Amino acid sequence: MNVRSPEMPALGQPRRSTYVGLAVLAALSLGVPTRAAAQEQQGVRIGLTYSGSSRPGLYVLPMRGQLADSIRRIIARDVDYGDRVGVIVPDSGTPPTGALNYPLYARLGAAAVLQLSVNAGGGLHVVLHEVGAGRVMNARDFPLVGSSLSADWRRSLHEVSDEVERWITGVAGVSATRVLFVRGGTLWQVDADGAGSQPVAGVGSALGPVWHPNGTTVAFTEMLDEGTRVVVRDLVRGSARRFTYDPGSNSSPAFSPDGRTLVFSSGSDGTDLFSAPLDGSSAPYRVTVGRGTTNSQPTFAPDGRRLAFTTSRLGRPEIYITDSDGANPELLTTSGFGDQLYRADPAWSPDGRFVAFSTQIEGRFQIATIGLRDRAVKQHTIDGVNEDPSWAPDARHLVFTSSRTGSKQLWVLDTESGRLRQLTQGPASRMAAWSPRLSNAR
């Protein structure tokens, strides 16, 4: 039997190290189930204990039915992109019947087996088996929404992938997410696997997009002849609101984690950060007092109590942290890392542990992270010019702009392993923003 890894983008780079490790699986019911028995296991989940030296292997069985190869390929690729599970995909063939060959799967390096089938209602029946014990780990029926190969149909499969990853590792995947970015001066979005790239309807000139926590609202900077302003747009209703403080420059919006507040940069002689309630119930509140310096690019801590931002108050761009009301400012980028000429584009990780940023190293921008506890800095990129990092909801992956292929494109980085993959191709793409987890149920 031939096995292969899931298909990767043509320009994707190879893995640079091994990943997270082997499983200590929870005890579940014995035997290889019929579909009825598998349904009785619905809702049971397991977690893994990682050694940090390798990834548990997942063997994805062939399946029957229309679009079977597409379904299987999308789910296998999603789980592979999560970088927590090693995916083993056999060549397409006849799905096994009767008892599964657990000893064979073990010899192929699998700790778990994924069994997929289309049920009578047109949804997807998913069974996850533990190889070592030869028994079911979890099972569930998932609806497939929309017409075949549509955006909603694909998102349904991404939701399956994320749940399978949660069953195996205890951490949901981020396949059911999208990335906003700027292309040709306007706003675009693309699925986390690089499919479904399309412009955002009704948006003209745009820079610096960000997602609202609800996953259906975005904010961005709109370019006008007389200056810039911040626009908040509902992607479902198509409605938009505009925020300004100074008639000159208004830019770099950021939503608070509770979704009630918008912080943005505004000013003519220098810029400061202003905080405004999203419902417009009161006037913007001044967060920083820069006295002619530039203060911009705010990013919230996940608890909403603090902000990181870029400021020129030391005579060069550096990253500061302050309370969300502007109290207790302190320099974050204190170490002698990089050229010490430019540190900007801060992005606070969803788990609160790190701030990603752009820094100059030998005259070129590179992506780095700094720990909030120990202030240790780690450089993540070397090739080309790299900037504008944005975190995935798993606080592990970053999307950023890179020139490593000769033009600016979006790339995804696994910060734990260093694995890279190219997300966009074609016309230049930049200024990415990774969405929260999305669902067809929204």
Please tell me the distance from the alpha carbon of residue 207 to that of residue 209, in angstroms, as a whole number: 6
Rounded to the nearest 10°, the torsion over CA 27, 30, 35, 41 is -30
The domain locations on the chain are 3-169, 178-434
Q: Within a 13 Å sphere around the CA of 315, how many CA atoms are in the beta-carbon half?
A: 1
Q: Is 151 helix (H, G, I), strand (E, B) or coil?
A: helix
pLDDT of 92 reads 74
Highest mean pLDDT among 99-103, 248-252, 320-324 belongs to 320-324
Q: How confident is the model at residue 47 (pLDDT cuts 50, 70, 90)?
A: very low
Least confident of 8-17, 205-214, 345-354: 8-17
Which residue in 109, 80, 20 sits closest to 416, CA to CA?
A: 20
pLDDT of 66 reads 83
Max Cα–Cα distance, the chain, nearest Å: 75
pLDDT at 39 over 50: no
pLDDT of 17 reads 27
Q: What percent of the chain has pLDDT over 70?
A: 88
Please tell me the distance from the alpha carbon of residue 106 to that of residue 44, in angstroms, as a whole number: 23
Please tell me the distance from the alpha carbon of residue 126 to that of residue 168, in angstroms, as a whole number: 13
CB 227 within 8 A of CB 247: yes
Q: How far is CA 121 from CA 37, 118, 136, 178, 426, in A?
A: 18, 8, 23, 28, 39
More confidently predicted of 11 and 441: 441
Rounded to the nearest 10°, the torsion over CA 284, 219, 366, 9 is 170
Q: How far is CA 172 from CA 131, 135, 179, 205, 278, in A?
A: 21, 22, 18, 35, 30
Give the angle subtended at the CA of 157 by the CAs of 65 and 121, to the nearest 5°: 50
pLDDT at 102 over 70: yes
Give the mean model confidence (pLDDT) for residues 55-70. Answer: 92
Q: Same topology for domains 3-169 and 178-434, yes or no?
A: no
**Residues facing 378 on adjacent strands:** 369
pLDDT at 431 over 60: yes
Please tell me the distance from the alpha carbon of residue 432 to that of residue 280, in angstroms, as a whole number: 27
Q: How confident is the model at residue 296 (pLDDT cuts 50, 70, 90)?
A: very high
At 233, the amino acid letter reads R
pLDDT at 8 over 80: no
The pTM (predicted TM-score) of the whole model is 0.88
At 287, the amino acid letter reads V
pLDDT of 340 reads 73
Q: How confident is the model at residue 381 (pLDDT cuts 50, 70, 90)?
A: very high
pLDDT of 53 reads 52
Write down the CATH number for the domain with range 3-169: 3.40.50.10070
Which residue in 346, 265, 331 sits closest to 301, CA to CA?
A: 346
pLDDT at 15 over 70: no
More confidently predicted of 318 and 48: 318
Strand pairing category for 354-361 and 285-286: unpaired
CATH superfamily of this structure's domain 178-434: TolB, C-terminal domain (2.120.10.30)
